[in-house]
Amino acid sequence: MPKRTDEHIVGDIAAGAVAQVFRECGSAVETIEQDYGEDLLVQSAHQGKVDPSRLWVQVKGTRDISRYRNPGGCYAMSVSTEHAFKWARSADAFTVILWDIEQGLGYSTFPPDQAENWNLAMLHRKTARLHFSLDTEELFPTGPFNHRNAKRLVWHARIHHYEGLLAHAILRDLEAESRGLQHQRSIVGLVAFDFLRLIGFWTGDEVAPASVEHYQQHLASNQHEARPEAEAALLAVARTVDEATDHLGISRTLLTHTSEIAHLILAGEGRAFWEPSSQPERQRSRIGVPRVK
């Protein structure tokens, strides 16, 4: 007769508890029946629209989380090197959550931040060690797993997705340049513009009032800069990202490209990247952004 061990029971309870937190934050959660190292697939939504990004979750359940406390006072667990590499190299965002079913609490961590997945020395090890911070870190959605952390994890997945899209777009441009494809249109600006819409900088037909206010504040205090308008646009985007993501932040590359597009929009020149220049002015001016005074 098949046996249902306590490990199976604890694992199911833990996965269910973690899934419920994500659901209460507005995400759809699918339980993965064929376990290849992932327990949950989180499909989030933003402003009523399903995100193109996804978040995979591995849940480690326990009845006594103190078993995983290390001498340094934090929690840690060992996983197979094969799984650590798989998670770290995933195209989608991935997190591991350690959950105590008795206390109803847990902690999250990121394998990509800890598994040296391109270090050949790691290939000779059977296990990798994952550490869980006890404190909420401002730049990473790690620490205690709760509703705030779940929302930040979802935002991390969105940012991870757009940074991947941007990297692909930049690589596409480099490939086109190396092959002499001068007429291939770059999509870097479109990726950046779409991210501006995601964070609420662009509302659909205008720059969000809060972002305009950020821009004007920074412009007033950055007149000493060589390009005060560009610097103010960058700082306005950074502040909008900070507010939208609960202080997660984005890579310098994504910030640079999005702020360049924001600068064009704020200067009333956003249509230059939105429509091909060969199209009639009537079609190219669809987003028609007025200059910010």
CB atoms inside a 10 Å sphere around CB 4: 9
One-letter amino acid for residue 165 of the chain: L
| Distance between first and last Cα of the chain | 76
Same domain, 101 and 230: no
pLDDT score for 127: 85
The answer to whether position 293 is within a domain reads: no
What tokens does 276 get? Answer: 């091909």
pLDDT in tens, 160-197: 999 999 999 999 999 998 998 888 888 999 999 999 99
Handedness of CA 234, 239, 245, 249 (dihedral sign): positive
Tell me: do 144 and 28 sit in the same domain.
yes
82 found inside a domain: yes
Q: What is the pLDDT of residue 275?
A: 54
Q: For the chain, how big is the Rg over CA atoms in Å?
A: 22
What pLDDT score was predicted for residue 289?
A: 38
* Dist CA 250 CA 238 (whole Å): 8
In this structure, are 49 and 118 located in the same domain? yes
Do residues 35 and 99 share a domain?
Answer: yes
Q: What is the span of the domain harbouring residue 133?
A: 6-152
């910030």: which residue's tokens?
A: 255
Same domain? 197 vs 138 = no
Examine residue 163 and state whether it is found in any structural domain, yes or no: no
pLDDT score for 107: 95
Assess if residue 166 is contained within a domain.
Answer: no
Q: Which pLDDT score, from 0 to 100, does residue 84 have?
A: 85
Q: Look up the pTM and report it.
A: 0.87
pLDDT of residue 161: 97
Residues of the chain with pLDDT under 70: 1, 115-123, 137-139, 270-293
The domain boundary, picked from 128, 152, 176, lies at 152
DSSP-derived secondary structure for the chain: -----HHHHHHHHHHHHHHHHHHHTT-EEEE-SS-SS--EEEE-EETTEE-S--EEEEEEEES-GGGGB-TTSSEEEEEEHHHHHHHHT-SSEEEEEEEETTTTEEEEE-HHHH--TT-GGGGG-SEEEEEE-SS--TTSS-EE-SHHHHHHHHHHHHHHHHHHHHHHHHHHHHHHHHTT-TTPPP-HHHHHHHHHHHTTSB-SSSB-HHHHHHHHHHHHH-TTSSSHHHHHHHHHHHHHHHHHHTS----HHHHHHHHHHHHHHHTT-THHHHS-TTS-HHHHTSS-PPPP-
The length of the chain is 293
Residues 144 and 29 both lie in one domain: yes
Shared domain check, 210 and 112: no
Residues 269 and 207 in one domain: yes
Instruction: Mark whether 103 and 11 lie in a shared domain.
Output: yes
Inside any domain, residue 109 = yes
Last residue of a domain, one of 152, 167, 195: 152
Q: Does residue 159 sit within a domain? A: no
Res 4: pLDDT: 83
Residues 33 and 131 in one domain: yes
Q: Residue 59 maps to which CATH number?
A: 3.40.1350.10
Asked if 10 and 147 sit in the same domain, the reply is: yes
Q: Please give the pLDDT value at position 10.
A: 96
**Residues 6 or more apart from 278 whose CB is under 8 A from it?**
none
In a domain, 70, yes or no: yes
Which of these, 140, 164, 163, lies nearest to 152 by C-alpha position? 140
Alpha carbon distance 141, 97 (integer Å): 11
Residue 254 lies in a domain: yes
Total domains in the chain come to 2
Same domain for 34 and 147, yes or no, is yes
